[in-house]
Structure 1
Amino acid sequence: MAHKWRYRAFISYSHADKAVAQWLHRALERFRLPSRLVGEQTGIGAVPARLTPIFRDRDEISAGADLSDTLRQALADSMFLIVIASPDAAGSRWVNEEVRLFKTMHGEARVLALIATGDPGERDTCGVFPPALRFRLDAEGQLTGNPTEPVAADLRPGADGKRMAKLKLVAGLTGLPLDALVQRETARRQRWLLGVASASLALVAVMAVLTVAAIQGQREAERQRAEAQAEAAKVRAVNQFMRDTLSAANPWGAGYDVSVVEALDQATDKIALSFVGQPGVEAEVRHTIGNAYNNLGRYDRARPLLEAAADMRTRLLGREDPETIETLAALAQLGWRDSRFDEAIAQAHELLELRRRVFGDPSPEVGTTLDFLGRLLTDAGQYEEAERVTEEALAMSLALHGERSLQVAACYQTKAVLAQIAHQDYALAEDLSRREIAIRRAVSDADTMETASALNNLGIFVMLQGRLEEAQPILEEAVELDRRLGGAQHPELARALENLGNVHYRLGNIDRTLELLAEVITIRREGLGDDNPEVARTLHNRGMVLSRAGDLEGAEAALRDAVARMGRAYGPDHSDVASGHRSLSYVLQLGGKLDQAEAELRTALAIAERAFAEESPGLAAYRQALGGLLVTRQRYGEAEPLLLAVHESAVLADGEGSVRVAATAGALVALYEAWGKPDKADLYR
């Protein structure tokens, strides 16, 4: 079956060339093909009446991120790629990645270029084309040394000019001969001149109107030129600032010993003085660095930067401007990652309404936001609402893109996590994860970091079903992909290594587990700094492995260190801090330090009661753990109401026969048998 294209073309550009991208987008979408040519069959299909829609990304990609699923989906759904070539585009990581990904999906033939700027005295285009445009790709989507000659129109002085450049691109987008389009334009101009001649008697009557229109047109052109100049100046200022502040603290440069976080700290300290009187530029820098902190897990440092950027953009641009919406989305992501679920849910609902008004409903932007809200509600323990929102996201994405789309794949991932967390239905989670991977591999000829992440999740779901030997090669594949595509210090590699370590831990390969965790700690310390919460989480896992190895003293020391680090990074009310106290309690119990163990577990429960919704399984697990410890301490009367409440909430949430209900019933059986009440124990067998 022929591919159903959603977009005629995807415009890829550096944000320094935003004005050219805006002009090209308008010019192509307003262009009407000659009626006599419409429907004519060319090498790429029937000639359309219009070239709409053309995709142009309006939001800047955050520093440190990968291409979003929205952009990947738009590339997959686009018949052609148009690259606005310039010195800025040649050096843009994102333009190069969009070209590489499009070629991987659709081949070399449908990539067009528009040369916007560069040295007009040089016809060599090496300085304006990104590498992926100048060279062919191999079967795995990687650059080769074989050069290619892209089809290019040229806006530069002494070259095509706007009219001819536009017609060259239209010819490429339709398969029509350029001559036919030039003749159409010539005939159109002749008809226009004839109309002017026949209307000469009425010229005096309309002169005043034409004069006003000319003045308005001149003002509009001046406004657009000023806007383009301001945008270009903003981009140059941001780029220069980032180069000046970060180049002296390059975390990967020879002879340096500084983390990414420390480099960002140095940049943050200079923002206020660097952009006096330039609030638009300052907002952009604060957003970029705030998002980088967010991706690195430094939520305390991300929050003030993103909040300031949101306030500045709201004052300058309004609440419904795409740049403002972008920062509000980053704040919602921050609240989610920082376990501030009530705050994040409110922000996500506002974001959803803004995107409905700005982008329309249905739209890819609304679908993406619904999917995010579903994942957020899942982690907040609001499962019924999460399922409703996620199903809406999936239905919208299927209607917009069809089954074979990255946005649908993202929805399957959210549904898989929901099946895992809300229902412990690991088989369903596995099925959804496999469907996600199949879609990602069908859309793209080469695996991506998102494919590696999906494999990571799949390995976890298989592991949780006890199929450890099957989970191991899945996670090893995820590790190999992350290492090859992301490099030796990528955060996703650390996550995959940690999950692979979990499988080895369950297989009893303790030495191998400790080796993998040692690599994870090295990656996170070198990239994020020693005080990063990701380092603390890995130390936490190492403590649990040491306890399995019988080194209770080493385990206790590692866990106390991890809990202290988490508390400093997150504050006292974060779910990870609660998890650390609970693990420390477990190790203390193994060592017979029951008073200390109970104190740690009560601290963990108090934090969990602030971090989780009342009916969430996360909170129930802490109450069940405390009930179990009280049974061990023979304080059965204190344990009973805790364990009964946990069991009742599981029955209400999941229904009889669920995995969670069986586990809570087992805890009650253990309580009543230890208490000497076998009749009550029989009620829960």
Structure 2
Amino acid sequence: MVHERRYRAFISYSHADKAVAKWLHRALERYRLPSRLVGEQTETGPVPARLTPIFRDRDEISAGADLSDTLRQALADSMFLIVVASPDAAASRWVNEEVRLFKSMHGETRVLALIAAGDPGERGTSGVFPPALRFRVDPEGQVTDNPTEPVAADLRAGADGRRLAKLKLVAGLTALPLDALVQRESARRQRWLLGLSSASLALVAVMVVLTVAAIQGQREAERQRAEAQAEAAKVRAVNQFMRDTLSAANPWGAGYDVSVVEALDQASDKIAAAFVEQPEVEAEVRQTIGNAYNNLGRYDRARPLLVAAAEARIRLLGGDDPETIETLAALAQLAWRESRFDEAIERTDELLELRRGVFGDPSPEVGTTLDFLGRLLTDAGHYEAADRVTEEALAMSLALHGEQSLEVAACYQTKAVLAQIAHQDYALAEALSRREIEIRRAVSDTDTMETASALNNLGIFVMLQGRLEEAQPILEEAVALDRRLGGAQHPELARALENLGNVHYRLGNIDRTLELLAEVIAIRREGLGDDNPEVARTLHNRGMVLSRAGDLEGAEAALRDAVARMERAYGPDHPDVASGHRSLSYVLQLGGKLDLAEAELRTALAIAERAFAAASPGLAGYRQALGGLLVTRQRYEEAEPLLLAVHASALASDGAGSQRAVATAGALVALYEAWGKPQQAEPFRPR
């Protein structure tokens, strides 16, 4: 009989082996079982989609203490025990006690080991196995002198290595054949290679070498030969596709210059012909290239690829297959990046229900989806719902992973953005961001691109509080980290440089701001192509800087160029297009071109009314801008209903004492005083 347990496994380790235990915990929880095996009955029960949750104790146990009730309960609630074996573990009283207690509760058959260091042959002394692992434990919990042979994977160099050791443990945790997992892993590695090629063409030669290694790794048992041959055929087909398309777009060729987007264009044009009789591989390639376009800001090109991948996977694998769900998640993210918030929320709600049905609730997949939904609701202006969903996501991630986890760090980032956008509570946003960075640095031995992104956010939150001199070194650290980890052309480097430019702009360092924006434009043009909307956004920012420098003619030209580019990329109804028209209106006002300025602002408002929810702060900002211009033009009767509606919206959503309500009340005071009706201004004056 298979017992239901809260945890798939309990990891027991000496704290000298903490780094190995952390790696093992992440590797197992992130491993996705082959979809064709999910639900298959084995001696451990139905094969799950993920091996979650895994319990790993993160606290040191003081000398003279006993195992806590929490640890005892976790051992009782775990299906398996995994011992990180080493000389330190062999000498650890606590590792031995955890093994002894687990065996007394569950017997001998559910104990696995991962050899991290030392020589397991030295069992005459301490070796790498504690006594309770080397010998049987009787029903009363006493370690006997009856030896047993632990089931062990060997992490050491010259032995299994990380990849095979992980797969051996997965096989033990699921009672699946190791060879089936090895073959599936080889196919996954090949798909990873394709994704890598989409990001950097210079690595094609390296990928070919790795592909050969992946094919060699498929040689397993005879009974799996047919499936191995099929997987090898997929590998060869994908490899040939990469060589025929991406290699043809060689940026090092004489007299030929190519961007990543152009290379992806060449690849995507050839997908259908390349995989006529391999629909699963075709779907995988479409997904990979669609994701690459999405990350590069080419949403118009990403959408048809991802839609086609989703349709194929639904047809071939079903709507609840993990690979299908992966594509549906990519479509939800794409809708978010395109600011199609209604579509993004609808897709994510459906995705949430799918993941609850497939992975269970709670599960890491559900927690991640809730976190993403919280960010969506924030950006769409549904702040009350966003607060509720982000709290649920954080609570689930804390319960599944504990405070010191990347999943919880991601939740803190979402809550920080919510605090910034919804409540203008920059101090809270800063505190959450600092906590996120603290967790990321505690969990990871080295800084990552995610750490750089968190530093970038922190710099923005500090800047928004007016502490510009403090924000500058934070953003400089983010820039340095992005440059070191991602290279001189990485999109995240461009984002960090742009934010650093914002600080210099506020400090009045206009020349330095323009230097930074010039580097941003160069990075984005080279990596994304000149027609990319990211280039347009940077040109928009450059126009605003030029306006402050007094170059109104240059600013107007830059902003008209930016707006035209955005319209080509997005169509006329995108929020970024509205923002461009509004900024152009501002520059025209500075130059005294009020008729042109009003026309631009009315165009911006019309777009915003189509793009934003009726009560959203974003739409209110456009109405207030037009109301202010009409006051300047002494058209008070036209301005009044706009400014009254904006103030009512601020009161309803944020309350009377909010920053936005105070600002909109001030605009009404200015209106009535300019109009010569000071008595009507009285209700809106500060009390």
TM-score exceeds 0.5:
yes
Aligned to 1:173: none
Aligned ranges 1:443-454 → 2 under 5 Å? 443-454=443-454
Q: In structure 1, give the amino acid aligned to 2:372.
A: F
For residues 654 and 258 of structure 2, the distance between their equivalents in structure 1, rounded to whole angstroms, comes to 49
For residues 516 and 639 of structure 1, the distance between their equivalents in structure 2, rounded to whole angstroms, comes to 39
Q: Is the 8 A contact 1:85 1:115 kept in 2?
A: no
Aligned to 2:495: 495
Secondary structure of the corresponding residue to residue 684 of structure 2: coil
Aligned to 2:405: 405
Aligned to 2:424: 424
Deviates more, 1:3-12 or 1:43-52: 3-12
Shift of 1:633: 0.7
Q: Does 1:358 align with 2:366?
A: no
Aligned to 1:384: 384
For residues 550 and 11 of structure 1, the distance between their equivalents in structure 2, rounded to whole angstroms, comes to 55
Aligned to 1:249: 249
Secondary structure of the corresponding residue to residue 504 of structure 1: helix
Aligned to 2:650: 650
For residues 442 and 81 of structure 1, the distance between their equivalents in structure 2, rounded to whole angstroms, comes to 27
Aligned to 2:315: 315
Residue 635 to residue 226, structure 1, CA distance change in 2 (3 Å): farther
Residue 305 to residue 115, structure 1, CA distance change in 2 (3 Å): closer
Shift of 1:253: 6.8
Aligned to 2:525: 525
Aligned ranges 1:33-72 → 2 under 5 Å? 42=90, 45=95, 46-47=98-99, 49=108
Q: Deviations over 1:445-487 (max 9, x none)?
A: 2111101100100100111111111110110000000000110
For residues 488 and 476 of structure 1, the distance between their equivalents in structure 2, rounded to whole angstroms, comes to 14
Aligned to 2:465: 465
For residues 376 and 289 of structure 1, the distance between their equivalents in structure 2, rounded to whole angstroms, comes to 24
For residues 256 and 429 of structure 1, the distance between their equivalents in structure 2, rounded to whole angstroms, comes to 46
Deviates more, 1:490-499 or 1:672-681: 672-681
Secondary structure of the corresponding residue to residue 365 of structure 2: helix
Q: In structure 1, give the amino acid aligned to 2:447.
A: D
Residue 544 to residue 253, structure 1, CA distance change in 2 (3 Å): farther
Q: Is the 8 A contact 2:113 2:153 kept in 1?
A: no
Secondary structure of the corresponding residue to residue 631 of structure 2: helix
Shift of 1:615: 1.1
Q: Is the 8 A contact 2:449 2:481 kept in 1?
A: yes
Shift of 1:236: 3.4
Aligned to 1:486: 486
Q: Is the 8 A contact 1:650 1:661 kept in 2?
A: yes
Q: In structure 1, give the amino acid aligned to 2:90.
A: T
Residue 26 to residue 405, structure 1, CA distance change in 2 (3 Å): farther
Gaps of 5+ in 1: 56-79, 100-113, 118-127, 131-153, 163-220
For residues 341 and 558 of structure 2, the distance between their equivalents in structure 1, rounded to whole angstroms, comes to 29
Aligned ranges 1:87-486 → 2 under 5 Å? 225-251=225-251, 256-486=256-486
Q: Is the 8 A contact 1:8 1:53 kept in 2?
A: no
What is the RMSD computed on CA atoms of the aligned residues? 4.0
For residues 20 and 43 of structure 1, the distance between their equivalents in structure 2, rounded to whole angstroms, comes to 42
Shift of 1:81: 9.7
Q: Is the 8 A contact 2:406 2:440 kept in 1?
A: yes
For residues 233 and 296 of structure 1, the distance between their equivalents in structure 2, rounded to whole angstroms, comes to 30
Q: In structure 1, give the amino acid aligned to 2:311.
A: D
Aligned to 1:584: 584
Residue 622 to residue 682, structure 1, CA distance change in 2 (3 Å): same
Higher relative contact order (CA 8 A, sep 6+): 1
Aligned to 1:573: 573
Gaps of 5+ in 2: 1-13, 48-78, 103-107, 115-151, 168-179, 184-189, 193-215
Q: Is the 8 A contact 1:413 1:436 kept in 2?
A: yes
Deviates more, 1:369-378 or 1:233-242: 233-242
Q: In structure 2, give the amino acid aligned to 1:550.
A: G
Q: In structure 2, give the amino acid aligned to 1:516.
A: L
Residue 13 to residue 614, structure 1, CA distance change in 2 (3 Å): closer
Residue 557 to residue 455, structure 1, CA distance change in 2 (3 Å): same
Deviates more, 1:233-242 or 1:402-411: 233-242
For residues 156 and 309 of structure 1, the distance between their equivalents in structure 2, rounded to whole angstroms, comes to 26
Shift of 1:277: 1.7
Shift of 1:658: 1.2
Q: Deviations over 1:257-296 (max 9, x none)?
A: 1111110000111111111121111111111111111111
Residue 494 to residue 8, structure 1, CA distance change in 2 (3 Å): closer
Deviates more, 1:423-432 or 1:544-553: 423-432
Give the TM-score normalised by the residue count of structure 2.
0.72
For residues 286 and 269 of structure 1, the distance between their equivalents in structure 2, rounded to whole angstroms, comes to 11
Q: Is the 8 A contact 1:33 1:50 kept in 2?
A: no
For residues 13 and 387 of structure 1, the distance between their equivalents in structure 2, rounded to whole angstroms, comes to 27
Deviates more, 1:254-263 or 1:492-501: 254-263
For residues 523 and 155 of structure 1, the distance between their equivalents in structure 2, rounded to whole angstroms, comes to 39
Shift of 1:672: 1.2
Residue 625 to residue 27, structure 1, CA distance change in 2 (3 Å): same
Shift of 1:587: 0.4
Q: Is the 8 A contact 1:668 1:684 kept in 2?
A: yes
Q: Is the 8 A contact 1:8 1:51 kept in 2?
A: no
Give the TM-score normalised by the residue count of structure 1.
0.72
Secondary structure of the corresponding residue to residue 683 of structure 1: helix
Shift of 1:239: 3.2
Secondary structure of the corresponding residue to residue 319 of structure 1: coil
Q: Is the 8 A contact 1:13 1:21 kept in 2?
A: no
Aligned to 2:598: 598
Shift of 1:244: 2.2
Residue 399 to residue 254, structure 1, CA distance change in 2 (3 Å): farther
Shift of 1:605: 0.8
Shift of 1:18: 7.3
Shift of 1:43: 5.1
Q: Is the 8 A contact 2:533 2:565 kept in 1?
A: yes
Q: In structure 1, give the amino acid aligned to 2:664.
A: T
For residues 12 and 248 of structure 1, the distance between their equivalents in structure 2, rounded to whole angstroms, comes to 38
Q: Is the 8 A contact 1:12 1:83 kept in 2?
A: no
Secondary structure of the corresponding residue to residue 518 of structure 1: helix
Shift of 1:228: 4.3
Secondary structure of the corresponding residue to residue 319 of structure 2: coil
Shift of 1:651: 1.1
Shift of 1:678: 1.5
Q: Is the 8 A contact 1:12 1:82 kept in 2?
A: no
For residues 554 and 632 of structure 2, the distance between their equivalents in structure 1, rounded to whole angstroms, comes to 24
Q: Percent identity?
A: 77
Residue 512 to residue 599, structure 1, CA distance change in 2 (3 Å): same
Residue 245 to residue 82, structure 1, CA distance change in 2 (3 Å): farther
Q: Deviations over 1:512-557 (max 9, x none)?
A: 0000000000000000000000000000000000000000000000
Q: Is the 8 A contact 1:7 1:52 kept in 2?
A: no
Q: Is the 8 A contact 1:115 1:156 kept in 2?
A: no
Shift of 1:639: 0.7
For residues 95 and 345 of structure 1, the distance between their equivalents in structure 2, rounded to whole angstroms, comes to 37
For residues 680 and 112 of structure 2, the distance between their equivalents in structure 1, rounded to whole angstroms, comes to 68
Q: Is the 8 A contact 2:81 2:112 kept in 1?
A: no
Residue 42 to residue 603, structure 1, CA distance change in 2 (3 Å): same
Aligned to 1:192: none
Deviates more, 1:493-502 or 1:418-427: 418-427
Q: Deviations over 1:170-203 (max 9, x none)?
A: xxxxxxxxxxxxxxxxxxxxxxxxxxxxxxxxxx
Q: In structure 1, give the amino acid aligned to 2:262.
A: E
Q: Is the 8 A contact 2:81 2:111 kept in 1?
A: no
Shift of 1:611: 1.1
Shift of 1:679: 1.9
Shift of 1:155: 9.2
Shift of 1:389: 0.7
Shift of 1:42: 3.3
Equivalent pairs counted in the alignment come to: 539
Q: In structure 2, give the amino acid aligned to 1:463.
A: M
Secondary structure of the corresponding residue to residue 582 of structure 1: helix
Residue 116 to residue 558, structure 1, CA distance change in 2 (3 Å): same
Shift of 1:660: 1.1
